């Protein structure tokens, strides 16, 4: 039995006050700010396995997992060793290294339609570069994205972007030129009719459709049967590329990401994929890749420019490679078990205490909507009881469980969530459900 932590957190409060003087909002990424749930974000000091420790010396079971990368849990021994060895050999060369080849080979081996990859340092860079490449390859400018899908803070992709943008209720961001937004066509997710109509109107202008392989940034909203296949069919008919954003699902939803679960659609594979999070093992590494013919347009082979001082950084590549190598079938089996246990606990406790909810899941990726009924798109996702989620979030935090501070996010589990960690979460769910009922 866990005695709940008090509401205040003095060391974190003091750090936030100092941070605000030198960093906008005191945080380096908006989702960290507890914007929609209120209160003080906890400043972390260390982490191991499934557990985090904050500046006040409190422990939490981590269900944020650094927003996706920490699939093995924190400071996994094999990854720590790989990182330490790589760092001792040199931090950055700005010249090619074998580790980059090994990481690229590992990605190509796992995701069959990917023939060539380029390593970058963030998911944002990956999608930004994939869009530029699609525009260069097709000679067209317009891009279709779906409301509620987040692809990083790329100008052209910020419209109706879910995740942090939804958490803060921002419609779009100032600073994105009207000209960039004008080239973006935002459509409702899971609506093939809307895609057909957009292509009927502007088909010859559209360079690409970009979609989260299985969206996780409006909560988990799986593609309806036939949706991905339809996107592939329509884009192919009109000479546009299909970009599958697997930054979140990649190497998590299965060993080969969402593609590994759904399989290659009968109408064909996406042309380009983007990856991040797990493939960097907690370090800044991401990638985009796809068909050799398209990737050959990239400099120095082709004319589409893309570059990075730290791209393929040896320490990040070592962390990513060690993480992917440690992602054995047993790891994916454990992720599924943990997801089974936590979703069962939510169903049971929320059900008994009469808290309206809906769980949606792809592989071990799941989220809990504070509403009833199927969630098929962003409008459905936004019709949630966010106030009640905020109370649930703090009830869990007091009981030593750190959820993502937004009801639009996945509950990220890791293979290091052992029975003790799972039991802590299960008990916290029961007590918190009673508290918010």
Q: How many CA atoms lie within 13 A of 284 on its CB side?
A: 11
Kindly state whether residue 406 participates in binding ligand PMP, applying the rule CB under 6 A.
no
**Which residue, 278, 261, 236, 234, is CA-closest to 410?**
278
Distance separating alpha carbons of residues 249 and 255, to the nearest angstrom: 10
- Look up residue 214 and give its two tokens: 């299985």
Q: Of these, 26, 41, 69, 123, which contacts ligand PMP (CB under 6 A)?
A: 123
Tell whether residue 366 is a contact of ligand PMP (CB under 6 A): no
For ligand PMP, the closer of residues 127 and 343 by Cβ is 127
CB of residue 258 to ligand PMP, shortest distance in Å: 10
Rule CB under 6 A: choose which of 67, 275, 288, 392 binds ligand PMP. 67
CB nearer to ligand PMP: pick between 127 and 138: 127
Q: In the annotation, is 332 catalytic? A: no
Q: Is 320 in the site for ligand PMP (CB under 6 A)?
A: no
Q: Compute CA distances 20 → 54, 138, 283, whole Å.
A: 18, 45, 25
The stretch near ligand PMP (CB under 6 A) out of 75-83, 100-108, 146-154, 167-175 is: 146-154
217 binds ligand PMP (CB under 6 A): yes
Q: How far is the CB of 68 from ligand PMP (least distance, A)?
A: 7
Q: Is 245 a catalytic residue?
A: yes
- Which C-beta is closer to ligand PMP: that of 152 or that of 265? 152
238-257: which residues touch ligand PMP (CB under 6 A)? 245, 247-248
Q: Is the bond leading into 16 cis (omega within 30 degrees of zero)?
A: no
| Contacts to ligand PMP from residues 23-42, by CB under 6 A | none
> By C-beta, is 206 or 214 nearer to ligand PMP?
214
Catalytic annotation, pick one of 62, 245, 271, 377: 245
Decide if 208 contacts 234 (C-beta within 8 A): no
Provide the minimum distance between the beta carbon of 269 and ligand PMP in the complex, in angstroms, as a whole number: 18
The DSSP 8-state label assigned to residue 32 in this structure reads G
Q: Is 180 left (phi over 0), alpha (psi -120 to 50) or beta?
A: alpha
Alpha-carbon 208 to chain mean position: 21
Q: Which of residues 262-281 bind ligand PMP (CB under 6 A)?
A: 276
In the list 40, 122, 138, 323, the residue contacting ligand PMP (rule: CB under 6 A) is 122
Q: What CA dihedral angle connects 277, 282, 283 and 286, to 10 degrees?
A: -10
Do the beta carbons of residue 208 and residue 290 sit within 8 Å?
A: no
Residue 408 touches ligand PMP, criterion: CB under 6 A? no
- Minimum distance between the CB of residue 286 and ligand PMP, rounded to whole angstroms? 6
430 binding ligand PMP? (CB under 6 A): no
Q: Please tell me whether residue 212 binds ligand PMP under the rule CB under 6 A.
A: yes
* Choice between 223 and 400, CB closer to ligand PMP: 223
Question: Could you give the CA distance from residue 68 to residue 363 in angstroms, rounded to a whole number?
Answer: 14
15 contacts: CB under 8 Å, gap ≥ 6: 43, 55
Q: 280 with 251: CB under 8 angstroms?
A: no
- State in angstroms the smallest separation of the CB of 276 from ligand PMP: 5
Note whether 124 binds ligand PMP by CB under 6 A: yes
Residue 409 found at the interface with ligand PMP (CB under 6 A): no
Q: Closest distance between ligand PMP and the C-beta of residue 249, in Å?
A: 8
Q: Which one from 62, 145, 150, 408 is the annotated catalytic residue?
A: 150
> What b/e sequence results for 15-50 when a residue is b if at least 16 CB atoms lie within 10 Å of its CB, and e otherwise?
bbeebeeeeeebbeebbbbbbbbebbbbbbeebebb
Task: Give 290 or 400: the residue with its C-beta nearer to ligand PMP.
Answer: 290
Helices (H), 161-219: 163-167, 178-182, 192-202
Q: Which long-range contacts (CB under 8 A, 24 or more apart) does 85-88 make?
A: 85/318, 86/314, 86/315, 86/317, 86/318, 86/319, 87/315
Kindly give the pairing relationship between strand 142-146 and strand 184-187: parallel
Q: Which is nearer to ligand PMP, 136 or 162 (CB)?
A: 162
Pair 48, 74: CB distance under 8 Å: yes
Give min distance, CB of 253 to ligand PMP, in A. 12
Residue 65 binding ligand PMP, by CB under 6 A: no
Residues that bind ligand PMP (CB under 6 A): 67, 122-124, 127, 150-152, 212, 217, 245, 247-248, 276, 286
Which of the residues are catalytic?
A: 150, 245, 277
């Amino acid at each position: 039995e866990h005695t709940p932590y008090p509401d205040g957190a003095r060391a974190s409060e003091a750090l936030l006050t100092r941070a605000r003087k030198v960093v906008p909002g005191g945080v380096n990424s908006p989702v960290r700010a507890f914007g929609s749930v209120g209160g003080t974000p906890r400043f972390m000091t260390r982490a191991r396995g499934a557990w985090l420790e904050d500046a006040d010396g409190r422990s939490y079971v981590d269900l944020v997992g650094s927003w996706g990368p920490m699939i093995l849990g924190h400071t996994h021994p094999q990854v720590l060793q790989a990182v330490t060895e790589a760092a001792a050999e040199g931090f950055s060369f700005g010249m090619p290294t074998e580790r980059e080849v090994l990481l690229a080979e590992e990605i190509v081996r796992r995701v069959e339609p990917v023939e060539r990859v380029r390593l970058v340092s963030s998911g944002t860079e990956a999608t930004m570069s994939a869009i530029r490449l699609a525009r260069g390859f097709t000679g067209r400018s317009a891009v279709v994205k779906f409301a509620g899908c987040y692809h990083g803070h790329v100008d052209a992709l910020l419209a109706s972007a879910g995740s942090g943008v939804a958490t803060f209720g921002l419609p779009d961001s100032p600073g994105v030129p009207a000209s960039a937004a004008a080239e973006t066509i935002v459509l409702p997710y899971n609506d093939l009719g809307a895609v057909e109509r957009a292509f009927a109107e502007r088909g010859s202008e559209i360079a690409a459709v970009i979609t989260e392989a299985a969206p996780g940034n409006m909560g988990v909203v799986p593609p309806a049967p036939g949706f991905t296949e339809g996107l592939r069919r329509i884009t192919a008919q009109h000479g546009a590329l299909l970009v599958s954003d697997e930054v979140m699902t990649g190497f998590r939803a299965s060993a080969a990401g969402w593609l590994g679960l759904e399989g290659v659609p009968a109408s064909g594979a996406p042309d380009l994929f983007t990856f991040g999070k797990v493939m960097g093992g907690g370090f800044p590494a991401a990638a985009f890749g796809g068909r050799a013919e398209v990737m050959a347009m990239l400099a120095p082979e082709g004319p589409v420019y893309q570059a990075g001082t730290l791209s393929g950084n040896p320490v990040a590549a070592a962390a990513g490679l060690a993480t992917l190598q440690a992602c054995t079938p047993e790891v994916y089996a454990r992720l599924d078990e943990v997801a089974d246990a936590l979703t069962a606990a939510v169903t049971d406790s929320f059900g008994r205490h009469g808290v309206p909810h809906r769980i949606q899941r792809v592989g071990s990726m799941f989220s809990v909507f504070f509403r009833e009924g199927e969630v098929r798109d962003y409008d459905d996702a936004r019709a949630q009881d966010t106030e009640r989620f905020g109370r649930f979030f703090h009830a869990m935090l007091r009981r030593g469980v750190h959820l993502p501070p937004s009801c639009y996010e996945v509950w990220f589990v890791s293979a290091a969530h052992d029975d003790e960690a799972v039991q802590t979460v299960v008990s916290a769910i029961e007590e918190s459900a009673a508290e918010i009922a």
